[in-house]
């Protein structure tokens, strides 16, 4: 399940560098909902790496984004058990969810254009006993289905042993992965930053 954390530093140990491939990369939900998601989307669009996801990750992305909207609404509106049924609160929640739905749809459409979808069920039967949360099994199965050796990029350091190799998959944090990508392609960070800014400006004009 998606959960952000601090975890490893920004440098990939020399012993793991040969295992870092940019051809078979799976993005965990924590990356897709994270603050650098646009950076990952643009890097894939420009061909700096070959990204993958699955129907399970798409569904989890939608659920996590909705949960984030609800948690934020509870904080900002001061929702409690006593007032959550009030009409004004219900109307505000409905407006927020409608806005979120359009954003989620747009994000899924955007990622669908740059991430290859794989059948995570193709990796069923793989021994994943080291994962305590069974909801994380389809995430790892997606990475395995995308190809071994491969890379799973995740900021869920609570459930995934970031920095380890499991089932032939190197598990790397978002920061470590992007740092490696920018070291491999020195021009990439500037190109992606400019592309991201142009995207943000275009979105402002549409609004």
- 142 within a domain of the structure (yes/no): yes
- 72 within a domain of the structure (yes/no): yes
For residue 90, the model assigns a pLDDT of 72
Parent domain of 187:
17-206
Asked whether the predicted pLDDT for residue 45 surpasses 80, the reply is yes
- 55 within a domain of the structure (yes/no): yes
For residue 183, the model assigns a pLDDT of 92
Helix (H), strand (E), coil (C) string for 31-52: HHCCCCHHHHHHHHHCCCCCEE
- 98 within a domain of the structure (yes/no): yes
Asked whether the predicted pLDDT for residue 92 surpasses 80, the reply is no
Q: Which two tokens stand for residue 181?
A: 């990508």
Q: Which pLDDT band holds residue 9 (cuts at 50, 70, 90)?
A: very low
Tens-digit pLDDT profile for residues 149-197: 999 999 999 999 999 999 999 999 999 999 999 999 999 999 999 998 9
Give me the chain's average pLDDT, please. 87
For residue 1, the model assigns a pLDDT of 43
For residue 151, the model assigns a pLDDT of 98
Pairing of strands 165-166, 150-153: unpaired
Higher per-residue confidence, 167 vs 92: 167
pTM score of the predicted model? 0.84
Distance separating alpha carbons of residues 115 and 27, to the nearest angstrom: 9
For residue 137, the model assigns a pLDDT of 97
pLDDT-above-70 percentage for the chain: 91
- 128 within a domain of the structure (yes/no): yes
Q: How many structural domains does the chain have?
A: 1
Q: What is the CB-side half-sphere exposure of residue 168 using CA atoms within 13 A?
A: 14
Tens-digit pLDDT profile for residues 22-41: 999 999 999 999 999 999 99
- 5 within a domain of the structure (yes/no): no
Higher per-residue confidence, 133 vs 75: 133
Distance separating alpha carbons of residues 150 and 26, to the nearest angstrom: 8
- 49 within a domain of the structure (yes/no): yes
- 34 within a domain of the structure (yes/no): yes
């Amino acid at each position: 399940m998606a959960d952000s954390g601090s975890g490893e530093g920004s440098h990939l140990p020399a012993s793991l560098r040969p295992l870092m491939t940019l051809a078979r990369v799976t993005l965990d939900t924590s990356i897709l909902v994270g603050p650098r998601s646009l950076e990952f989307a643009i890097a894939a669009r420009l061909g700096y790496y070959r990204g993958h996801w699955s129907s399970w990750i798409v569904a989890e992305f939608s659920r996590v984004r909705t949960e984030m909207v609800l948690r934020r609404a509870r904080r900002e509106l001061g929702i409690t058990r006593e007032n959550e049924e009030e009409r004004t609160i219900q109307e505000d929640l409905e407006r927020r969810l409608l806005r979120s739905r359009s954003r989620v749809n747009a994000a899924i459409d955007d990622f669908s254009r740059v991430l290859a979808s794989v059948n995570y069920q193709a990796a069923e039967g793989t021994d994943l006993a080291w994962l305590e949360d069974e909801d994380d099994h389809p995430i790892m199965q997606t990475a395995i289905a995308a190809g071994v050796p491969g890379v799973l990029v995740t900021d869920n350091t609570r459930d995934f042993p970031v920095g380890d190799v499991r089932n032939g998959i190197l598990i790397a944090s978002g920061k470590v992965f992007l740092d490696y990508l920018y070291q491999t392609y020195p021009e990439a960070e500037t190109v992606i930053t400019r592309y991201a800014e142009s995207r943000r400006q275009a979105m402002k004009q549409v609004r």
